[in-house]
Amino acid sequence: MGTVTAPYRVCVVCTGNICRSPMGEIVLRRAFGDAGLGDVVEVDSAGTGGWHVGGPADPRTAAALRARGYDDAHVARQFAAEWFADKDLVLALDAGHVRALRALAPTPEAADTVRLLRSFDPAAGDDLDVADPYYGDDAGFELALDQVEAAVPGVVGAVRAELAARRNRAAG
């Protein structure tokens, strides 16, 4: 059977890359590792804006992650159009991020890599935005993390299926 030499790259994107997208990055990275895919799937995150570039995750994000046993190490970055060339899946945290990312995409194919994270959660229904906790209290951060965690199994399953399809195409 053929092998996939290039890693599958996922980027999780929110507004400032200090609340929701670090949650998505950290939870997904662990889930891919737990699924035995940590060596073939790379996960990072970014924001649509550059206000917090170089800074850590919001302290409330870090606290919510630590309370559930996750790492909280993070440095904020801003998504750039040229990143699309290296990303297989760009997971937006709300509809505004989808619009911003698709407008930034240099090609229709790049725009097609953008999906809402919660679209991978079959229980999400029509509410596909991860709630923005930034202006709220700790409960908002817990809700956002709940929503991220609920979508992660679907993301892992979809990526696993895509990797299998790539292996099948390579095998020929």
Measured distance CA(135)–CA(97) in Å, rounded? 18
Taking CA atoms, 118 is separated from 80, 140, 142, 154, in Å, by 23, 16, 16, 9
Cα-based distances in Å from 71 to 26, 96, 112: 7, 28, 31
Q: Would you call 14 a catalytic residue per the annotation?
A: yes
The catalytic residue among 9, 88, 102, 132 is: 132
C-alpha dist (Å) from residue 84 to 71, 98, 103, 110, 160: 27, 13, 12, 6, 20
- Pairing of β 89-92 and β 8-14: parallel
- Catalytic residue of the set 19, 20, 44, 60: 20
> Exactly one of 11, 14, 29, 94 is catalytic; which is it?
14
CA distance 12 to 22: 8
Q: Active-site residue 20, yes or no?
A: yes
Q: Which residues are catalytic?
A: 14, 20, 132
